[in-house]
Amino acid sequence: DEANNDKVIDTKDAVRECVDKGSGWDPVTVIETILKGTTDGTNREAPSSRFVTRMIPLQSTCFASMDEICETTKFLLQRFLYKMEKKQEKDKQTTTTFGIYVKRRSCGHLTTNAIIQSLGAQVAALAPSWKVDLTAPTVKIWVEICRTTAGVSIFRVNSTLSAKTKFNVVDLRAASAAAQEDPVE
């Protein structure tokens, strides 16, 4: 039993170690850069991709069960809160708001409302000062489910990753091209 106890890692310590060492890459940052280059015209030298139509910044994947999704979200939320605490030491921010967005495909065993209720309870437990705002949240919790696989992301909403982003690269390119052709005076 004592040998097994030595192997148990505190989740918060694992999160801190992962964030402090900067291990891995963050798909949110990568997609944010690509979408920004797509919409603001800074990525005009590179040819647009014919093969990528939609990019989703999934930070973690798991089995599509309520327990797995909640555990994955808990880990990501702890990591996000730790990063946020480090950033808030530098600049004071107002109240944080959040929205939970769920997209299910070919998944009949989980309901959107059940997922939102479970994740909302988790957010309330880990970040009690956060308030729900579905129209203009400052933090977005994104859950994608396809059959038996679920992907989860938690990211700060900004000008590139807006609350209404569907991560459709083709639509963003078309809208950007139309805006450049017809500038508003």
Tell me if 98 sits within 8 A of 141, measured CB to CB.
yes
Calpha distance 116→136 (Å, rounded): 17
SS3 115: helix
Sequence-distant (6+) residues with CB within 8 A of 164 are none
Divide the 185 residues of the chain into consecutive groups of 10 and give the mean pLDDT of each group: 42 49 65 68 54 79 94 92 72 78 91 95 92 90 94 83 65 71 61
Length of the chain: 185
Predicted pLDDT of residue 43? 53
Predicted pLDDT of residue 23? 52
Short-list 79, 69, 92, CA closest to 23: 79
